[in-house]
Structure 1
């Protein structure tokens, strides 16, 4: 607790909050670990439980801690915040944020386009599309199920290449085939995790997920890709850069 002594003239709850924040960010308090009880911590810091609760409430609001009723307080897992104001490469964006990311290919197949996919890609129902389903992992935790569909007629050689490499930059692959993506339309919904989603994202059935649908277009308005995404509600958030007209 020596660092607390260096913060003289600052209210105790702020000093404790900053001490705990520093220990979380440095890894001294491991992500997902349970904190000692309020009684133990208040005794350790030499403050009342009310003061300690104020410190911890700030960290809960910040997303660094979370509480389980009747169980205790835990250090939150690494949260992934992504700016959806622009079309960005997931892996490049993550590296710039200093996060360790990985991807697991769950399925790659050529399937007949169902109604929603066909409509988004301006195809006839039953036309062949490539379905690429992957699991994206951030800091060792499964965060996103990413399921993309694109025309087999336009991109048939995708299945003959190194899928593990191409899947990490689909925008570059589309552009290499003459389809440079310039814009997209997407919709976000809050949903409850269904059994398959819950298993893949290692969460409880019914836990909140951020669901996304998106269609990408070239500058000429040609649809290139349609996708579904299921993102863990406790680990994934989106930001938008807004401006007045």
Structure 2
């Protein structure tokens, strides 16, 4: 039997589908508590589920609003592009642009703690949602983690890493704004120089082994990042 917060989340999903448009406001927490006959904690858990799915977003001090189907919102949870798209009801796909065994660029070998010019596997892909280009992804893997020849590009990369004994457990990310080059703009189907979000990620296993360096370039008009922050007690 579903938990109460899951039932509330399902009910709000139905309300959104039936009568609400993108950026419409949901009822207040107090109103939702009265409608569903549950506690504030249950309402907050239900809303948290919907935020993770990209169906709603919060504006502090204002309220909760319906998300837009045209914009995919990423939460701080460590999930793959495929998982993100499926959770939002979109169909993910990829176009493989390059797969090669190369000498690691200096910034990659440093980030992964490898000797200079160590061999790594480079996977460059265009990531799409419902056929629309969303991101360009360059992934570098030490050959000791996953050999180029053993890759199955039709399957989830993270699942292959898990089966090989290198489950991605933790990642450190840096996000910055960039302007797209002409070649990347063409691949992402936007105007040259359009704004984008560049996300650099270094991932490690449960044992702390560095197993992935990735740089993903997201269209800024189709992808956002949501972060929850708190203020430390003085």
- Band of TM-score, shorter chain: 0.5 to 0.7
Check whether the contact 2:145–2:166 (CA below 8 A) recurs between aligned residues.
no
**Structure 1 SS opposite 2:108:** helix
Mapping 1:191-230, distance limit 5 Å: 191-230=178-217
Displacement after TM superposition at 1:124 (Å): 1.4
Whole-angstrom CA distance in 2 between matches of 1:155 and 1:161 = 7
Mapping 1:151-230, distance limit 5 Å: 151-156=142-147, 158-165=148-155, 168=156, 170-230=157-217
Displacement after TM superposition at 1:231 (Å): 0.4
The CA deviation string for residues 9-37 of structure 1, in whole angstroms up to 9 with x for no partner, is xxxxxxxxxx9948xxxxxxxxxxxxxxx
Greater Rg over alpha carbons, structure: 1
Q: Which runs of 5+ in 2 are unaligned?
A: 1-18, 23-65
Whole-angstrom CA distance in 1 between matches of 2:165 and 2:222 = 35
The CA deviation string for residues 71-111 of structure 1, in whole angstroms up to 9 with x for no partner, is xxxxxx8221121x111132123112111221111111100
Whole-angstrom CA distance in 2 between matches of 1:242 and 1:159 = 42
Displacement after TM superposition at 1:130 (Å): 0.2
Aligned to 1:8: none
Aligned to 1:139: 130
Whole-angstrom CA distance in 2 between matches of 1:107 and 1:20 = 42
More helix by share: 1
Provide closer, same or farther for how the CA distance between residues 243 and 20 of structure 1 changes in structure 2, counting only shifts above 3 A: closer
CA RMSD in angstroms, aligned pairs only: 2.5
**Structure 2 SS opposite 1:163:** coil
Displacement after TM superposition at 1:175 (Å): 2.0
Whole-angstrom CA distance in 1 between matches of 2:179 and 2:84 = 27
> Could you list the runs of 4 or more consecutive aligned residues of structure 1 that deviate by over 6 angstroms after TM superposition?
none
Whole-angstrom CA distance in 2 between matches of 1:101 and 1:234 = 18
